[in-house]
Amino acid sequence: MEITINKCVLELKSGDITEQKTDAIVNAANCQLVLGGGVAGAIRMKGGDSIQKECSKKGPIDTGQAVITSAGKLKAKHVIHAAGPKMGEGDEDNKLKNATLSALAVANENNLKSIAFPAISTGIFGYPMDKCAKIMLNAVIEYLHGKTNLKKVVFCLYDNDAYRIFANELESRK
């Protein structure tokens, strides 16, 4: 599923974010930038230890912030590490919005044309998928209405349930 916003394609797809050929993929990071499990673990496993070495020099970061590293052996050129909120820590919705906007800003600052997001914080951090879809899509759509170098934003969702939830949310905006 895709729509165009201000000359930028917003696409939803199912699959493995580590296989995306976008300029950058977004890591659903922790504040310490330790590539442990989930998306981060897959990035480390497929991209190699060089990504963790770069993260160790750039972390820690605050929840809602994002930093960029190279992508090691991944198909993408860069990884943007966006620190999402843990459920129960307070102000999670605003922190998720900020993590999304920070990742987009880092992409723009680095003149990237394409970026792929996972559903940030919905794994071990326990954030509800439906709220994630609403907040992240709102943030991306709002951002794309402004000045940006981005030509393509992808939400690469790991399973069919996540894809369906994001697709329903995007469809409700048409």
**Could you tell me the residue range of the domain that residue 114 belongs to?**
2-171
Task: Domain count for the chain, please give it.
Answer: 1
Q: How many helices (H) and strands (E) does the chain have?
A: 5, 7
| CATH value at residue 101 | 3.40.220.10
pTM: 0.96
Residue 59 near residue 69, CB atoms below 8 Å:
no
pLDDT tens, residue by residue, 24-73: 999 999 999 999 888 899 999 999 999 999 999 999 999 999 999 999 99
Amino acid at 95: K
Residue 75 near residue 60, CB atoms below 8 Å:
no
